[in-house]
Amino acid sequence: MLQELVDSNSNLERTDLNLHQMSNQMQLVLGGTGDKDVLFMGHHGVVVVAQSVALAFDNLYYLERAAQVQILAQSTQKEVELLPEEECQKASQDIWRDIKKYSDAQFYSMYRRLRQTQPDFEL
């Protein structure tokens, strides 16, 4: 889609963003995700891809929460006990079965809160 924009706008000035270069970089980054939903880019942050904005937001939100919990647990300087694999698998299956419902509910809840505090905000 970005390449089509570049090709159809041959009058873009060189001082604008170099859309060809940006398109190539985006393809490189997105190609690096393979079949994964999250790409950690060293000291450059993360990229989250999903079928919807709501699901991408949900994945990024819980990735950040998991990182916070891990740092908090490690700050106790005690050995962190892992949950049994069976419990993790069951919880994972339950969540992924209804992930669209959960991610949509959370995303639109956050959107409504943002609209209350920032009335000028638009998606």
Whether the per-residue pLDDT at 9 is higher than 70: the answer is: no
- Res 84: pLDDT: 95
Whether the per-residue pLDDT at 14 is higher than 70: the answer is: no
Lowest mean pLDDT among 33-37, 86-90, 113-117: 33-37
User: How many Å from the N-terminal Cα to the C-terminal Cα in the chain?
Assistant: 20
Domain ranges of the chain: 53-117
Count of other CB atoms within 10 angstroms of residue 54: 20
Alpha helices in 10-123 (DSSP H): 19-31, 53-75, 85-97, 99-117
Give yes or no for a contact between 56 and 49, defined as CB atoms under 8 angstroms apart: yes
Coil, strand or helix at 43: helix
The pLDDT-based confidence of 21 (bands split at 50, 70, 90) is: low
- Res 11: pLDDT: 43
